[in-house]
Amino acid sequence: MAARATRPTKPSETNYITPVGFRRLADELTYLHTKKRPEVLGALSDAAAEGDRSENAEYIYRKRQLRDIDRRLRFLSKRIDDVQIVDPAKQPHRDRVFFGATVTVEDEAGEAATYRIVGVDESDGAHGDISWKSPVGRALLGKTTGDTVTARWHAGLRELTVAQISYLESIALPPVIEPAARAQAEQSPSVGPGESSPPPARRAPVAKRGTTAPRAKPAASAPAREDRDRSPGKRRS
């Protein structure tokens, strides 16, 4: 009987991130690991000491909450290990749109909008930070001032003309005290003593300015091309 042919494994796509974005992930991991989880674990122990756990609302809530925190810790630990940091300030080809660029565009009506091309873990539409994988981000990559692109919008297709390109210097962020993830963690899931998945054994990394990111791939000024996808930092010929 003929052996079944195996499909070639599709190589994983590099997860690019800016130094500021990496710092945010690392700070959230540190906060959850060193402060939030111990607080919830203590509250869970107190609730468990009150008696019947099956009807103890506080115990059930803290158990769910701890489970969500552990899930988030595992996600952040894996994410931080897999990212490749790209510093926009080191981009040598500043006349074109690459990863980390701040781009001002104008639509058909002449209305201007400014976007910053960032990693998938940093996108924030309210502040104009869009992923390099988004329809607008992909359409702008490699373009220069004066180029017009057609991008898919939620309401259809739009033509955007590149008006200005800049690469902002990296900004050192203060330590995170109340990361956004805290609100999400507090609305959810956990486990009693001995029931939850253990926290990561390694110390949570903290990104420092001018130092190498822990276990992250080396920083690069221009990411290399990956298969058929356009790299966000490679200059077009």
**What pLDDT, in 10s, does the model give residues 92-142?**
999 999 999 999 999 988 999 999 999 999 999 889 999 999 999 999 999
Do 141 and 93 lie in a common domain?
yes
Are 81 and 107 members of one domain?
no
Q: Is the pTM of this model over 0.85?
A: no
- Domain edge (last residue) among 43, 65, 86: 86
CA pseudo-torsion sign 92, 93, 97, 99:
negative
* 77 and 114, same domain (yes or no): no
Residues 108 and 152 in one domain: yes
Question: Based on the domain organization, do 33 and 69 belong to the same domain?
Answer: yes
Q: What is the pLDDT at residue 187?
A: 42
123 domain-assigned:
yes
Q: Is the sign of the CA dihedral 129, 88, 78, 172 positive or negative?
A: negative
The pLDDT of residue 153 is: 81
Structural contact between residues 28 and 73, judged by C-beta atoms closer than 8 angstroms: no
If asked whether residues 93 and 146 sit together in one domain, one would say yes
Listed in sequence order, the residues at least 6 apart from 188 whose beta carbon sits closer than 8 Å to its beta carbon are 64, 65, 67, 68
According to DSSP, the β-strands at 129-131 and 148-153 are unpaired
Kindly state whether residue 222 falls inside one of the protein's structural domains. no
CB 89 within 8 A of CB 220: no
Q: In Å, how far are 5, 9, 11, 222 from 2, measured between CA atoms?
A: 9, 21, 27, 45
How many domains, in total, are found in the chain? 2
Q: Tell me the sheet residues that pair with 116.
A: 102, 129
Domain hosting residue 115, numbered range: 89-166
Is residue 223, in this structure, part of any structural domain at all?
no
Tell me what pLDDT residue 133 has. Answer: 92
In a domain, 48, yes or no: yes
| pLDDT at residue 83 is higher than 50 | yes
**Rounded Cα distance, 36 and 28, in Å:** 10
Any idea what the CATH number is for the domain that residue 135 is in?
3.10.50.30
Domain boundary among 134, 150, 166: 166
Q: Which of 51, 86, 121 is the last residue of a domain?
A: 86
**pLDDT the model gives residue 6:** 58
Q: Which residue has the higher pLDDT, 164 or 201?
A: 164
The proportion of the chain whose per-residue pLDDT surpasses 70, expressed as a percent, equals 66
Q: What is the pLDDT of residue 225?
A: 39
Classify residue 70: in a domain, yes or no: yes
- % of the chain beyond a pLDDT of 90: 48
Torsion angle of the four alpha carbons 220, 226, 232, 236, in this order, in degrees rounded to the nearest 10: 100
Tens-place pLDDT, residues 5-39: 556 555 567 889 999 999 999 999 999 999 999 99
In a domain, 153, yes or no: yes
Higher pLDDT, 187 or 232: 232
pLDDT band at 87 (very low <50, low <70, confident <90, very high): very high
Output the domain CATH number for residue 29.
1.10.287.180
Sign for the CA dihedral angle at 159, 135, 94, 113 comes to positive
One domain, residues 124 and 148: yes
Do 51 and 23 belong together in one domain?
A: yes
Nearest to 73 by CA among 156, 174, 196, 161: 196
106 and 56 in a common domain: no
Q: Are strands 83-85 and 129-131 parallel, antiparallel or unpaired?
A: unpaired
Residue 117 backbone zone (phi > 0: left; psi -120 to 50: alpha; other: beta): beta
Q: Do 158 and 97 share a domain, yes or no? A: yes
pLDDT the model gives residue 116: 95
Establish if 161 belongs to a structural domain: yes
